[in-house]
Structure 1
Amino acid sequence: MNRTHAVIPPLSAYKARHVLMTVTDGVASITLNRPEKKNPLTFDSYDELTAIFAAARKDETTHAFVISGAGGNFSSGGDVLEIIGPLTEMNVPQLLRFTEMTGDLVKTMRACPQPIISAIDGICAGAGAIIAMASDLRFGTEASKIAFLFNRVGLAGCDMGACAMLPRIIGQGRASELLYTGRALGGAEAERWGFFNRLVDPANLIEEATKLARQLASGPTFANGMTKRMLQAEWAMSIDDAVEAEAIAQALCMKTEDFRRAYEAFANKQKPVFKGD
Protein backbone atom coordinates (compact mmCIF):
# COMPACT_ATOMS: atom_id res chain seq x y z
CA MET A 1 0.00 0.00 0.00
CA ASN A 2 2.29 2.72 -1.28
CA ARG A 3 0.22 5.88 -0.88
CA THR A 4 1.46 9.44 -1.28
CA HIS A 5 -0.44 12.48 -0.08
CA ALA A 6 -1.93 14.65 -2.77
CA VAL A 7 -0.35 18.04 -3.45
CA ILE A 8 -3.16 20.56 -3.34
CA PRO A 9 -3.46 24.26 -4.23
CA PRO A 10 -4.39 26.97 -1.69
CA LEU A 11 -7.45 25.80 0.20
CA SER A 12 -9.70 28.50 -1.21
CA ALA A 13 -9.05 27.09 -4.70
CA TYR A 14 -8.99 23.40 -3.81
CA LYS A 15 -11.87 21.22 -5.03
CA ALA A 16 -12.27 18.41 -2.52
CA ARG A 17 -13.20 14.99 -3.91
CA HIS A 18 -13.68 12.82 -0.84
CA VAL A 19 -15.01 15.38 1.65
CA LEU A 20 -16.88 18.65 1.20
CA MET A 21 -14.90 21.83 1.81
CA THR A 22 -15.65 25.52 1.45
CA VAL A 23 -13.57 28.50 2.53
CA THR A 24 -15.37 31.70 3.53
CA ASP A 25 -14.00 34.70 5.44
CA GLY A 26 -10.84 32.81 6.33
CA VAL A 27 -12.71 29.79 7.73
CA ALA A 28 -12.42 26.41 6.02
CA SER A 29 -15.50 24.27 6.63
CA ILE A 30 -14.95 20.53 6.11
CA THR A 31 -17.90 18.15 6.02
CA LEU A 32 -17.52 14.39 6.18
CA ASN A 33 -20.13 13.54 3.60
CA ARG A 34 -21.27 9.93 3.50
CA PRO A 35 -24.45 10.33 5.56
CA GLU A 36 -26.00 7.05 4.40
CA LYS A 37 -23.23 5.22 6.33
CA LYS A 38 -22.75 7.78 9.12
CA ASN A 39 -19.75 9.36 7.40
CA PRO A 40 -17.08 6.66 7.67
CA LEU A 41 -13.52 7.30 6.56
CA THR A 42 -11.86 5.58 3.60
CA PHE A 43 -8.25 5.34 2.49
CA ASP A 44 -8.94 8.23 0.12
CA SER A 45 -10.61 10.49 2.68
CA TYR A 46 -7.74 9.88 5.12
CA ASP A 47 -5.30 10.96 2.43
CA GLU A 48 -7.33 14.00 1.44
CA LEU A 49 -7.81 15.24 5.00
CA THR A 50 -4.10 14.81 5.68
CA ALA A 51 -3.25 16.71 2.50
CA ILE A 52 -5.63 19.53 3.41
CA PHE A 53 -4.14 20.07 6.85
CA ALA A 54 -0.60 19.74 5.50
CA ALA A 55 -1.34 22.43 2.90
CA ALA A 56 -2.85 24.63 5.61
CA ARG A 57 0.61 25.15 7.11
CA LYS A 58 1.50 27.31 4.10
CA ASP A 59 -1.91 28.87 3.51
CA GLU A 60 -1.90 32.49 4.68
CA THR A 61 -5.56 33.12 3.86
CA THR A 62 -7.17 30.31 5.88
CA HIS A 63 -7.18 31.07 9.60
CA ALA A 64 -9.49 28.48 11.20
CA PHE A 65 -11.24 25.17 10.49
CA VAL A 66 -14.65 23.73 11.32
CA ILE A 67 -15.13 19.97 10.86
CA SER A 68 -18.59 18.42 10.91
CA GLY A 69 -20.50 15.45 9.53
CA ALA A 70 -23.50 15.32 7.24
CA GLY A 71 -26.89 13.87 8.14
CA GLY A 72 -26.90 14.23 11.91
CA ASN A 73 -23.75 12.20 12.65
CA PHE A 74 -20.07 13.13 12.85
CA SER A 75 -18.30 9.93 11.78
CA SER A 76 -18.62 6.22 12.46
CA GLY A 77 -14.86 5.72 12.00
CA GLY A 78 -13.13 3.56 9.42
CA ASP A 79 -15.44 2.09 6.80
CA VAL A 80 -16.03 -1.57 7.68
CA LEU A 81 -16.05 -2.84 4.09
CA GLU A 82 -13.53 -0.42 2.54
CA ILE A 83 -10.96 -0.35 5.37
CA ILE A 84 -11.58 -2.90 8.12
CA GLY A 85 -12.11 -5.83 5.75
CA PRO A 86 -8.94 -5.22 3.71
CA LEU A 87 -6.91 -4.83 6.91
CA THR A 88 -7.62 -8.43 7.87
CA GLU A 89 -5.83 -9.57 4.70
CA MET A 90 -2.68 -7.43 5.08
CA ASN A 91 0.71 -8.50 6.36
CA VAL A 92 2.51 -6.68 9.15
CA PRO A 93 4.50 -4.24 6.95
CA GLN A 94 1.30 -3.29 5.12
CA LEU A 95 -0.58 -2.83 8.39
CA LEU A 96 2.21 -0.65 9.74
CA ARG A 97 2.03 1.55 6.65
CA PHE A 98 -1.72 1.91 7.26
CA THR A 99 -1.40 2.80 10.94
CA GLU A 100 1.36 5.29 10.16
CA MET A 101 -0.87 6.82 7.47
CA THR A 102 -3.75 7.27 9.93
CA GLY A 103 -1.36 8.76 12.45
CA ASP A 104 -0.21 11.26 9.82
CA LEU A 105 -3.69 12.80 9.90
CA VAL A 106 -3.38 13.56 13.61
CA LYS A 107 0.15 14.88 13.15
CA THR A 108 -0.91 17.29 10.39
CA MET A 109 -3.94 18.45 12.40
CA ARG A 110 -1.69 19.28 15.34
CA ALA A 111 1.06 20.81 13.16
CA CYS A 112 -1.11 23.22 11.17
CA PRO A 113 -1.20 26.65 12.85
CA GLN A 114 -4.94 27.20 12.43
CA PRO A 115 -7.31 26.35 15.30
CA ILE A 116 -9.58 23.42 14.44
CA ILE A 117 -13.11 23.21 15.83
CA SER A 118 -15.06 19.97 15.59
CA ALA A 119 -18.87 20.32 15.56
CA ILE A 120 -20.13 16.93 16.74
CA ASP A 121 -23.65 15.56 16.58
CA GLY A 122 -24.74 11.94 16.75
CA ILE A 123 -22.22 9.15 16.29
CA CYS A 124 -18.53 10.04 16.72
CA ALA A 125 -16.70 6.74 16.94
CA GLY A 126 -13.31 5.18 16.27
CA ALA A 127 -11.27 7.35 13.94
CA GLY A 128 -14.08 9.92 14.09
CA ALA A 129 -13.52 10.24 17.83
CA ILE A 130 -9.80 10.62 17.14
CA ILE A 131 -10.44 13.50 14.72
CA ALA A 132 -12.54 15.17 17.40
CA MET A 133 -9.82 14.55 20.00
CA ALA A 134 -7.12 15.97 17.72
CA SER A 135 -9.10 19.17 17.19
CA ASP A 136 -8.38 22.21 19.34
CA LEU A 137 -11.98 22.79 20.39
CA ARG A 138 -15.09 20.62 20.37
CA PHE A 139 -18.76 21.59 20.30
CA GLY A 140 -21.30 18.83 20.90
CA THR A 141 -25.00 18.17 21.36
CA GLU A 142 -27.03 16.17 23.87
CA ALA A 143 -27.36 13.50 21.17
CA SER A 144 -23.60 13.11 20.66
CA LYS A 145 -22.09 9.71 21.37
CA ILE A 146 -18.28 9.59 21.58
CA ALA A 147 -16.77 6.11 21.46
CA PHE A 148 -13.10 5.14 21.32
CA LEU A 149 -14.27 1.64 20.45
CA PHE A 150 -10.99 0.00 19.42
CA ASN A 151 -11.16 -2.41 22.38
CA ARG A 152 -14.57 -3.62 21.18
CA VAL A 153 -13.11 -4.80 17.88
CA GLY A 154 -10.13 -6.56 19.44
CA LEU A 155 -7.64 -3.70 19.21
CA ALA A 156 -5.70 -1.67 21.76
CA GLY A 157 -6.86 1.76 22.83
CA CYS A 158 -3.49 3.20 21.76
CA ASP A 159 -4.62 4.36 18.34
CA MET A 160 -3.52 7.53 16.53
CA GLY A 161 -2.20 9.12 19.72
CA ALA A 162 -5.21 8.45 21.95
CA CYS A 163 -3.16 7.31 24.95
CA ALA A 164 -1.15 10.53 24.81
CA MET A 165 -3.85 13.07 24.01
CA LEU A 166 -7.08 11.86 25.61
CA PRO A 167 -5.71 11.84 29.20
CA ARG A 168 -4.60 15.45 28.73
CA ILE A 169 -8.15 16.42 27.77
CA ILE A 170 -10.25 14.49 30.30
CA GLY A 171 -7.73 13.04 32.78
CA GLN A 172 -5.92 9.71 33.08
CA GLY A 173 -8.61 7.76 34.93
CA ARG A 174 -11.46 8.80 32.65
CA ALA A 175 -9.38 8.22 29.52
CA SER A 176 -8.43 4.77 30.84
CA GLU A 177 -12.10 3.89 31.30
CA LEU A 178 -12.99 4.87 27.73
CA LEU A 179 -9.97 3.21 26.14
CA TYR A 180 -10.29 -0.05 28.12
CA THR A 181 -14.05 -0.46 27.65
CA GLY A 182 -14.87 1.32 24.39
CA ARG A 183 -18.13 2.54 25.93
CA ALA A 184 -19.93 5.54 24.48
CA LEU A 185 -19.66 8.92 26.19
CA GLY A 186 -22.91 10.86 25.95
CA GLY A 187 -23.09 14.56 25.19
CA ALA A 188 -23.82 15.85 28.69
CA GLU A 189 -21.18 13.58 30.23
CA ALA A 190 -18.66 14.61 27.58
CA GLU A 191 -19.16 18.26 28.49
CA ARG A 192 -18.94 17.50 32.20
CA TRP A 193 -15.70 15.57 31.65
CA GLY A 194 -14.21 18.41 29.60
CA PHE A 195 -14.18 16.66 26.22
CA PHE A 196 -16.69 19.16 24.88
CA ASN A 197 -16.11 22.88 25.35
CA ARG A 198 -19.86 23.39 25.22
CA LEU A 199 -23.15 21.78 24.27
CA VAL A 200 -25.23 23.38 21.54
CA ASP A 201 -28.69 22.73 20.15
CA PRO A 202 -28.30 20.54 17.03
CA ALA A 203 -30.03 23.15 14.88
CA ASN A 204 -27.42 25.74 15.87
CA LEU A 205 -24.33 23.51 16.04
CA ILE A 206 -22.63 24.49 12.79
CA GLU A 207 -23.61 28.13 13.20
CA GLU A 208 -22.11 28.34 16.69
CA ALA A 209 -18.92 26.54 15.72
CA THR A 210 -18.52 28.75 12.66
CA LYS A 211 -19.18 31.86 14.73
CA LEU A 212 -16.27 31.00 17.02
CA ALA A 213 -14.09 30.06 14.04
CA ARG A 214 -14.74 33.46 12.46
CA GLN A 215 -13.89 35.15 15.74
CA LEU A 216 -10.57 33.30 15.83
CA ALA A 217 -9.96 33.98 12.13
CA SER A 218 -10.39 37.72 12.72
CA GLY A 219 -7.97 37.68 15.65
CA PRO A 220 -4.15 37.87 15.75
CA THR A 221 -3.62 34.75 13.67
CA PHE A 222 0.17 34.63 13.99
CA ALA A 223 -0.25 34.73 17.76
CA ASN A 224 -3.01 32.11 17.63
CA GLY A 225 -0.69 29.85 15.66
CA MET A 226 2.02 30.39 18.26
CA THR A 227 -0.43 29.47 21.04
CA LYS A 228 -1.26 26.22 19.24
CA ARG A 229 2.41 25.47 18.64
CA MET A 230 3.28 25.96 22.30
CA LEU A 231 0.28 24.01 23.60
CA GLN A 232 1.61 21.11 21.54
CA ALA A 233 5.32 21.51 22.29
CA GLU A 234 5.02 22.03 26.02
CA TRP A 235 3.55 18.59 26.66
CA ALA A 236 7.11 17.26 26.65
CA MET A 237 8.73 20.15 28.57
CA SER A 238 9.53 20.83 32.19
CA ILE A 239 7.98 23.96 33.67
CA ASP A 240 11.33 25.78 33.49
CA ASP A 241 11.79 24.82 29.82
CA ALA A 242 8.21 25.85 29.06
CA VAL A 243 8.68 29.26 30.67
CA GLU A 244 11.84 29.81 28.61
CA ALA A 245 10.17 28.65 25.39
CA GLU A 246 7.19 30.91 26.01
CA ALA A 247 9.52 33.87 26.57
CA ILE A 248 10.92 33.38 23.08
CA ALA A 249 7.48 32.80 21.55
CA GLN A 250 6.01 35.92 23.14
CA ALA A 251 8.98 38.05 22.13
CA LEU A 252 8.36 37.01 18.52
CA CYS A 253 4.69 37.96 18.84
CA MET A 254 5.71 41.36 20.19
CA LYS A 255 7.44 42.06 16.86
CA THR A 256 4.24 41.57 14.86
CA GLU A 257 2.25 44.42 13.40
CA ASP A 258 -0.84 43.02 15.10
CA PHE A 259 0.75 43.74 18.48
CA ARG A 260 1.42 47.31 17.40
CA ARG A 261 -2.12 47.64 16.06
CA ALA A 262 -3.56 46.44 19.35
CA TYR A 263 -1.53 49.01 21.28
CA GLU A 264 -2.49 51.85 18.95
CA ALA A 265 -6.16 50.86 19.05
CA PHE A 266 -6.10 50.71 22.85
CA ALA A 267 -4.41 54.10 23.07
CA ASN A 268 -7.11 55.55 20.79
CA LYS A 269 -9.95 53.70 22.57
CA GLN A 270 -10.72 51.70 19.44
CA LYS A 271 -11.14 48.02 18.67
CA PRO A 272 -8.06 46.57 16.95
CA VAL A 273 -8.37 45.15 13.45
CA PHE A 274 -5.89 42.30 13.15
CA LYS A 275 -4.28 41.27 9.84
CA GLY A 276 -2.10 38.34 10.85
CA ASP A 277 1.26 40.00 10.19
Structure 2
Amino acid sequence: MTTPDNPPVSDQPAVRVSTPEEGIALVQLDRPERLNAMSAGLLRELHAALDHLAEDTSCRVVVLTGSGRGFCAGLDLTAFDLGSRNGAERKESPQWRFRRQQYIASLVPKLRGLPQPVISAVNGPAAGGGLSLALASDIRIAAESASFNVAYVRLGLSGCDIGTSWLLPRLIGSSRAFELLLTGRIIDSAEADRLGLVSRVVPDDSVVSTALHVAREILANSPMGVRMTKEVMWSQLEIGSLQAGIDLENRTQIVTTHTRDHDEAASAFRERRQPRFYDH
Protein backbone atom coordinates (compact mmCIF):
# COMPACT_ATOMS: atom_id res chain seq x y z
CA MET A 1 0.00 0.00 0.00
CA THR A 2 1.24 3.48 -0.84
CA THR A 3 2.02 5.59 2.23
CA PRO A 4 3.12 9.24 2.55
CA ASP A 5 6.65 8.23 3.48
CA ASN A 6 6.91 5.34 1.00
CA PRO A 7 5.30 6.47 -2.28
CA PRO A 8 5.72 4.70 -5.58
CA VAL A 9 9.16 5.05 -7.14
CA SER A 10 9.36 6.57 -10.60
CA ASP A 11 12.15 5.97 -13.09
CA GLN A 12 12.18 9.71 -13.77
CA PRO A 13 13.71 11.77 -10.93
CA ALA A 14 11.43 14.52 -9.65
CA VAL A 15 14.18 16.33 -7.71
CA ARG A 16 17.69 16.91 -9.00
CA VAL A 17 20.60 17.94 -6.77
CA SER A 18 23.81 19.30 -8.23
CA THR A 19 26.89 21.22 -7.08
CA PRO A 20 27.31 24.18 -9.44
CA GLU A 21 30.13 25.56 -7.27
CA GLU A 22 32.07 24.33 -4.28
CA GLY A 23 30.00 24.69 -1.14
CA ILE A 24 26.71 25.30 -2.96
CA ALA A 25 23.97 22.73 -3.60
CA LEU A 26 21.36 23.44 -6.27
CA VAL A 27 18.10 21.60 -5.54
CA GLN A 28 15.83 21.65 -8.57
CA LEU A 29 12.23 20.46 -8.53
CA ASP A 30 11.92 18.66 -11.85
CA ARG A 31 8.35 18.08 -12.99
CA PRO A 32 8.16 20.93 -15.49
CA GLU A 33 5.14 19.48 -17.31
CA ARG A 34 3.15 19.99 -14.06
CA LEU A 35 4.83 23.25 -13.01
CA ASN A 36 6.76 21.13 -10.49
CA ALA A 37 3.62 20.31 -8.52
CA MET A 38 4.11 17.99 -5.57
CA SER A 39 3.59 14.36 -6.49
CA ALA A 40 4.27 11.50 -4.08
CA GLY A 41 7.63 10.96 -5.76
CA LEU A 42 8.63 14.61 -5.58
CA LEU A 43 7.76 14.73 -1.88
CA ARG A 44 9.79 11.61 -1.16
CA GLU A 45 12.80 12.84 -3.14
CA LEU A 46 12.71 16.33 -1.64
CA HIS A 47 12.61 14.92 1.88
CA ALA A 48 15.53 12.63 1.03
CA ALA A 49 17.54 15.46 -0.55
CA LEU A 50 17.09 17.72 2.47
CA ASP A 51 17.96 14.91 4.87
CA HIS A 52 21.17 14.26 2.94
CA LEU A 53 22.14 17.93 2.76
CA ALA A 54 21.60 18.37 6.50
CA GLU A 55 24.47 15.91 7.05
CA ASP A 56 26.70 17.14 4.22
CA THR A 57 29.37 19.35 5.79
CA SER A 58 30.79 20.22 2.37
CA CYS A 59 27.55 22.03 1.52
CA ARG A 60 27.27 25.49 3.04
CA VAL A 61 24.40 27.09 1.07
CA VAL A 62 21.36 25.56 -0.64
CA VAL A 63 19.63 27.13 -3.66
CA LEU A 64 16.09 25.85 -4.30
CA THR A 65 14.41 26.38 -7.68
CA GLY A 66 12.15 24.72 -10.24
CA SER A 67 12.60 23.41 -13.77
CA GLY A 68 10.91 25.05 -16.73
CA ARG A 69 8.58 27.97 -16.21
CA GLY A 70 7.40 27.25 -12.66
CA PHE A 71 8.79 27.12 -9.14
CA CYS A 72 6.16 24.84 -7.60
CA ALA A 73 2.41 24.84 -8.21
CA GLY A 74 1.64 23.17 -4.88
CA LEU A 75 0.10 19.75 -4.45
CA ASP A 76 -0.59 17.90 -7.70
CA LEU A 77 -4.36 17.50 -7.53
CA THR A 78 -4.27 14.83 -10.24
CA ALA A 79 -1.89 12.64 -8.24
CA PHE A 80 -3.89 12.30 -5.03
CA ASP A 81 -7.41 11.26 -4.05
CA LEU A 82 -8.37 14.51 -2.36
CA GLY A 83 -12.14 14.18 -2.29
CA SER A 84 -15.15 12.17 -3.32
CA ARG A 85 -16.79 12.68 -6.71
CA ASN A 86 -20.51 12.57 -7.36
CA GLY A 87 -21.13 11.29 -3.85
CA ALA A 88 -18.78 8.33 -4.24
CA GLU A 89 -17.17 6.93 -1.13
CA ARG A 90 -13.79 8.42 -0.23
CA LYS A 91 -10.95 5.97 -0.69
CA GLU A 92 -8.65 7.31 2.01
CA SER A 93 -9.30 7.26 5.74
CA PRO A 94 -9.00 10.44 7.83
CA GLN A 95 -6.03 8.86 9.59
CA TRP A 96 -4.20 8.27 6.30
CA ARG A 97 -4.91 11.81 5.13
CA PHE A 98 -3.68 13.25 8.41
CA ARG A 99 -0.47 11.26 8.14
CA ARG A 100 0.07 12.58 4.61
CA GLN A 101 -0.71 16.12 5.76
CA GLN A 102 1.97 15.86 8.45
CA TYR A 103 4.42 14.42 5.92
CA ILE A 104 3.96 17.35 3.53
CA ALA A 105 3.92 20.01 6.25
CA SER A 106 7.12 18.65 7.82
CA LEU A 107 9.05 20.01 4.83
CA VAL A 108 8.72 23.49 6.34
CA PRO A 109 10.46 22.83 9.68
CA LYS A 110 12.95 20.67 7.78
CA LEU A 111 13.94 23.64 5.61
CA ARG A 112 14.00 25.89 8.66
CA GLY A 113 16.16 23.40 10.53
CA LEU A 114 18.79 22.91 7.83
CA PRO A 115 22.15 24.16 9.08
CA GLN A 116 22.71 25.78 5.68
CA PRO A 117 20.90 28.95 4.57
CA VAL A 118 18.33 28.24 1.85
CA ILE A 119 17.85 30.67 -1.04
CA SER A 120 14.70 30.20 -3.11
CA ALA A 121 15.14 31.26 -6.73
CA VAL A 122 11.46 31.62 -7.58
CA ASN A 123 11.40 31.25 -11.34
CA GLY A 124 7.63 31.19 -11.90
CA PRO A 125 4.39 30.39 -10.05
CA ALA A 126 4.76 29.55 -6.35
CA ALA A 127 1.30 28.47 -5.25
CA GLY A 128 0.01 26.63 -2.21
CA GLY A 129 2.73 24.26 -1.05
CA GLY A 130 5.14 25.95 -3.44
CA LEU A 131 4.57 29.25 -1.65
CA SER A 132 5.18 27.47 1.66
CA LEU A 133 8.55 26.18 0.43
CA ALA A 134 9.53 29.72 -0.56
CA LEU A 135 8.34 31.15 2.76
CA ALA A 136 10.34 28.54 4.68
CA SER A 137 13.51 29.56 2.85
CA ASP A 138 15.81 32.13 4.39
CA ILE A 139 16.06 34.34 1.28
CA ARG A 140 13.65 34.66 -1.65
CA ILE A 141 14.74 36.01 -5.04
CA ALA A 142 12.00 36.36 -7.63
CA ALA A 143 12.12 36.28 -11.40
CA GLU A 144 10.01 38.92 -13.10
CA SER A 145 7.58 36.19 -14.18
CA ALA A 146 7.20 34.82 -10.63
CA SER A 147 3.82 34.87 -8.96
CA PHE A 148 2.61 33.90 -5.51
CA ASN A 149 -0.69 32.81 -4.02
CA VAL A 150 -1.95 30.91 -1.00
CA ALA A 151 -4.33 28.84 -3.19
CA TYR A 152 -5.68 26.58 -0.41
CA VAL A 153 -8.74 28.69 0.33
CA ARG A 154 -9.76 28.57 -3.35
CA LEU A 155 -9.99 24.78 -3.11
CA GLY A 156 -12.54 24.79 -0.31
CA LEU A 157 -9.84 24.36 2.31
CA SER A 158 -8.48 26.56 5.08
CA GLY A 159 -6.02 29.14 3.84
CA CYS A 160 -3.88 28.16 6.83
CA ASP A 161 -1.73 25.26 5.69
CA ILE A 162 1.87 23.99 5.60
CA GLY A 163 3.16 26.75 7.87
CA THR A 164 1.83 29.60 5.74
CA SER A 165 -0.33 31.21 8.44
CA TRP A 166 2.70 31.35 10.77
CA LEU A 167 5.32 32.43 8.24
CA LEU A 168 3.46 34.91 6.07
CA PRO A 169 2.43 37.43 8.78
CA ARG A 170 5.96 37.42 10.14
CA LEU A 171 7.34 38.29 6.71
CA ILE A 172 4.81 40.87 5.46
CA GLY A 173 2.69 41.76 8.53
CA SER A 174 -0.61 40.35 9.73
CA SER A 175 -2.90 42.80 7.92
CA ARG A 176 -1.53 42.01 4.47
CA ALA A 177 -1.27 38.31 5.31
CA PHE A 178 -4.97 38.20 6.26
CA GLU A 179 -5.93 39.51 2.85
CA LEU A 180 -3.80 37.02 0.93
CA LEU A 181 -4.92 34.11 3.11
CA LEU A 182 -8.62 34.96 2.86
CA THR A 183 -8.77 35.82 -0.85
CA GLY A 184 -6.16 33.48 -2.27
CA ARG A 185 -5.46 36.10 -4.90
CA ILE A 186 -2.36 35.90 -7.05
CA ILE A 187 0.28 38.59 -6.65
CA ASP A 188 3.02 39.23 -9.19
CA SER A 189 6.72 39.69 -8.49
CA ALA A 190 6.47 43.48 -8.35
CA GLU A 191 3.82 43.37 -5.62
CA ALA A 192 5.73 40.65 -3.77
CA ASP A 193 8.72 42.99 -3.76
CA ARG A 194 6.64 45.91 -2.46
CA LEU A 195 5.21 43.74 0.32
CA GLY A 196 8.68 42.59 1.37
CA LEU A 197 7.93 38.98 0.50
CA VAL A 198 11.06 38.78 -1.67
CA SER A 199 14.41 40.52 -1.33
CA ARG A 200 14.70 41.45 -5.01
CA VAL A 201 13.24 40.90 -8.49
CA VAL A 202 15.53 40.07 -11.39
CA PRO A 203 15.10 39.14 -15.08
CA ASP A 204 13.89 35.59 -15.64
CA ASP A 205 17.15 34.39 -17.13
CA SER A 206 19.22 35.55 -14.16
CA VAL A 207 17.21 34.37 -11.15
CA VAL A 208 19.40 31.32 -10.50
CA SER A 209 22.66 33.16 -11.23
CA THR A 210 21.59 35.91 -8.82
CA ALA A 211 20.86 33.30 -6.15
CA LEU A 212 24.31 31.81 -6.74
CA HIS A 213 25.86 35.27 -6.38
CA VAL A 214 24.13 35.73 -3.01
CA ALA A 215 25.30 32.24 -2.03
CA ARG A 216 28.89 33.28 -2.77
CA GLU A 217 28.49 36.33 -0.53
CA ILE A 218 27.33 34.02 2.27
CA LEU A 219 30.25 31.66 1.63
CA ALA A 220 32.64 34.54 2.31
CA ASN A 221 31.61 34.37 5.98
CA SER A 222 32.56 31.69 8.49
CA PRO A 223 30.50 28.46 8.47
CA MET A 224 29.74 28.61 12.20
CA GLY A 225 28.89 32.30 12.08
CA VAL A 226 26.44 31.72 9.22
CA ARG A 227 24.89 28.70 10.89
CA MET A 228 24.35 30.52 14.17
CA THR A 229 22.93 33.55 12.37
CA LYS A 230 20.29 31.41 10.68
CA GLU A 231 19.49 29.52 13.87
CA VAL A 232 19.16 32.63 16.04
CA MET A 233 17.14 34.58 13.45
CA TRP A 234 14.53 31.81 13.26
CA SER A 235 14.46 31.48 17.04
CA GLN A 236 13.93 35.23 17.38
CA LEU A 237 10.65 34.90 15.49
CA GLU A 238 9.38 32.73 18.34
CA ILE A 239 10.90 34.48 21.34
CA GLY A 240 8.45 36.62 23.31
CA SER A 241 10.63 39.44 24.64
CA LEU A 242 13.60 41.62 23.73
CA GLN A 243 15.56 40.51 26.78
CA ALA A 244 15.09 36.83 25.98
CA GLY A 245 16.31 37.56 22.47
CA ILE A 246 19.38 39.39 23.74
CA ASP A 247 20.13 36.56 26.19
CA LEU A 248 20.10 34.10 23.28
CA GLU A 249 22.38 36.37 21.24
CA ASN A 250 24.82 36.72 24.14
CA ARG A 251 25.22 32.99 24.62
CA THR A 252 25.52 32.30 20.90
CA GLN A 253 28.10 35.02 20.42
CA ILE A 254 30.30 33.64 23.18
CA VAL A 255 30.13 30.17 21.58
CA THR A 256 31.31 31.56 18.22
CA THR A 257 34.27 33.33 19.82
CA HIS A 258 35.69 29.91 20.67
CA THR A 259 35.85 28.73 17.03
CA ARG A 260 39.01 28.62 14.92
CA ASP A 261 37.14 30.48 12.21
CA HIS A 262 36.60 33.47 14.49
CA ASP A 263 40.35 33.63 15.10
CA GLU A 264 41.00 33.32 11.36
CA ALA A 265 38.47 36.03 10.44
CA ALA A 266 39.99 38.41 12.99
CA SER A 267 43.51 37.68 11.71
CA ALA A 268 42.45 38.15 8.10
CA PHE A 269 40.84 41.48 8.97
CA ARG A 270 44.00 42.71 10.66
CA GLU A 271 46.18 41.45 7.80
CA ARG A 272 43.84 42.76 5.09
CA ARG A 273 43.45 39.43 3.32
CA GLN A 274 40.68 36.95 2.56
CA PRO A 275 40.02 34.50 5.41
CA ARG A 276 40.56 30.75 5.01
CA PHE A 277 37.89 28.95 6.99
CA TYR A 278 38.27 25.44 8.36
CA ASP A 279 35.37 24.62 10.69
CA HIS A 280 32.41 23.28 8.70
- TM-score, length-scaled by structure 2: 0.90
Cα displacement string for residues 105-140 of structure 1 (whole angstroms, at most 9, x for unaligned residues):
111100111010111122111111111111100111
- Residue 87 of structure 2 is matched in structure 1 by none
User: 1:203 and 2:199 equivalent?
Assistant: no
What is the deviation of 1:246? 1.0
Going from structure 1 to structure 2, the CA distance change for 1:217 and 1:269 (only over 3 Å counts) comes to closer
List gaps (5 residues or longer) in structure 2.
85-89
Give the aligned residue type for 1:259.
Answer: H
Question: Is the contact made by 2:152 and 2:184 (CA closer than 8 Å) also made in structure 1?
Answer: yes
Among 5, 22, 36, which residue is 2:18 paired with?
22
Listed as ranges, the matches of 1:141-160 within 5 Å are: 141-160=143-162
1:118-157 to 2 correspondences below 5 Å: 118-157=120-159
SS at structure 2 position matched to 1:82: coil
Report SS of the residue matched to 1:143.
Answer: coil
More displaced stretch, 212-221 vs 165-174: 212-221
Query: How far apart are the structure 1 equivalents of 2:81 and 2:140?
Result: 27
Query: 1:50, 1:110 → 2: CA distance?
Result: 13
Conserved in 2, the CA contact under 8 Å of 1:151 and 1:182?
A: yes
Partner of 1:65: helix, strand, or coil?
Answer: strand
1:260 is matched with which residue: 250, 258, 263? Answer: 263
Q: Is the 8 Å Cα contact of residues 32 and 68 (structure 1) preserved in structure 2?
A: yes
Q: Distance in 2 between matches of 1:101 and 1:81?
A: 18
Residue 44 (structure 2) aligns with:
47
- Shift of residue 3, structure 1, vs aligned partner: 4.3
Q: Which amino acid aligns with 2:24?
A: V
Q: Which runs of 5+ in 1 are unaligned?
A: 7-15
Distance in structure 2 (CA, Å) of the matches to 1:132 and 1:28 = 16
Letter in 2 for 1:228: K
Which of the numbers 98, 101, 108 marks the counterpart of 2:100?
Answer: 98
What code does the residue aligned with 1:246 have?
E
Q: Does 2:19 correspond to 1:31?
A: no
Q: Taking every aligned residue pair, what percent have the same amino acid on both sides? A: 30
Runs of 4+ in structure 1 deviating by more than 6 angstroms, as ranges, are: none
Check the 8 A contact 1:5/1:50 in 2, yes or no: no
